[in-house]
Amino acid sequence: MLKDNLVGKYIPQDSVIHHLDPRAKFLAFFLLMLIVFIANSVVTYGVLIAVALILTLFAKFNISYVLNGLKPILLIVLFAFFVHLFTTKGGELLWSWKFLSIYSHGLVQGIFISLRFILLMYFATILTLSTSPIELTQGIESLCAPLKVIGIPVESIALMMSIAIRFIPTLIDELDLIRRAQAARGADVAMGSLSARFKAVQALVIPIFIQSFKRAEDLANAMEARGYDTNVQRTYYKVLTWKFKDTLIIISVMCIGVLLILLRLNNI
């Protein structure tokens, strides 16, 4: 499951989505993530699922590959589903046993909330798969440039985001390697009693923290050796240029948002 994680990974493709300005992609996907919270019916969620599939096709990704990368959030999705399933009341009583009961509204809300989590992660995955960490950082830094006026260190924040995104796949690979090594020694997280699994998790957490601090120190030393200074104005090899297609994608996403608002107002 760890190997299936796609967060922070970038897959170069010759697609429409890949060639968009990173600023346009970030704004578009940010708006899409806000629009997800507008959906409240089968029709509105159906529209968002259709949008997700269209974006996947435009980015030339395999839909099953992207969905497979969402496995790490499966436990969170299931937890959210069951919480709403057993706590949301209203509608027709579907099942009851002692203090537990399931109502139709709880079932619907559980499905909708689960879809919301999946769509949020799906859009975020498409964004990171189609945008390199450098481009994403450059786009965020350009969008946040006005904040420099009030003294916010935009370059430093963008650098931290870039490093964090860049090292997510690396740390996940190391975590998987440590897990396999611990399993070979009889400390498998997926086996044994609850206390045994807890001890096995502890055996994973400590080494990964040590590796994280070691990598952070190595990176800091490398940057210092190369004379990196956040207070110096930097230049970029690739200059961002906003084109008509970038404006078109923003307008398209805004139209989707207006459509969902109209559907919600009309209880469709």
Residues 125 and 168 in one domain: no
Please tell me whether residues 95 and 179 are part of one structural domain: no
The pLDDT value given to residue 65: 85
Residue-range definition of the domain harbouring residue 162: 154-229
Q: What percent of the chain has pLDDT over 70?
A: 88
Confidence (pLDDT) at 173: 75
Confidence of residue 10 (pLDDT cuts 50, 70, 90): confident
Answer whether residue 196 is part of any domain: yes
What pLDDT sits at residue 20?
Answer: 92
Residues 6 or more apart from 72 whose CB is under 8 A from it?
A: 1, 2, 4, 5, 7
Statement to judge: residues 7 and 107 lie in one domain: yes
Question: Under 8 Å CB-to-CB from 159, ≥6 apart: which residues?
Answer: 137, 230
How much is the pLDDT for 200?
A: 65
Is 141 contained in some domain?
Answer: no
pLDDT at 169: 72
Predicted local distance difference test score (pLDDT) of residue 201? 67
Does residue 137 lie within any of the structural domains?
A: no
Q: Which residue in the block uniquely carries the two structure tokens 């964090």?
A: 164
What confidence tier does 17 reach under pLDDT thresholds 50, 70, 90? very high
What global pTM score does this model have? 0.78
Tell me: do 67 and 15 sit in the same domain: yes
- pLDDT at 47 (0 to 100): 93
Q: Does residue 180 sit in the same domain as residue 200? A: yes
pLDDT digits (tens, 9 = 90+) for 209-233: 788 888 888 888 888 887 777 667 7
Q: How many domains does the chain have?
A: 2
Average pLDDT over residues 100-126: 87
pLDDT band at 193 (very low <50, low <70, confident <90, very high): low
> Measured at the alpha carbon of residue 112, what is the angle toward residues 108 and 114, in degrees to the nearest 5?
120
Is 92 a residue whose pLDDT tops 80?
A: no
Whole-angstrom distance, CA of residue 95 vs CA of residue 93: 6
Q: Per 3-state DSSP, what percentage of the chain is helix, strand, and coil (rounded to 5)?
A: 70, 5, 25
145 DSSP 8-state letter: G
Q: How far is CA 116 from CA 43, 61, 105, 112, 261, in A?
A: 14, 21, 16, 6, 16
Mean of pLDDT values over 140-165: 80
State pLDDT tens for residues 237-257: 777 888 999 999 999 999 999
Model confidence at 195: pLDDT above 70: no
**Residues paired with residue 100 on neighbouring β-strands, in sequence order:** 97
Q: Answer yes or no: is 138 within a domain.
A: no
**190/88 same-domain check:** no
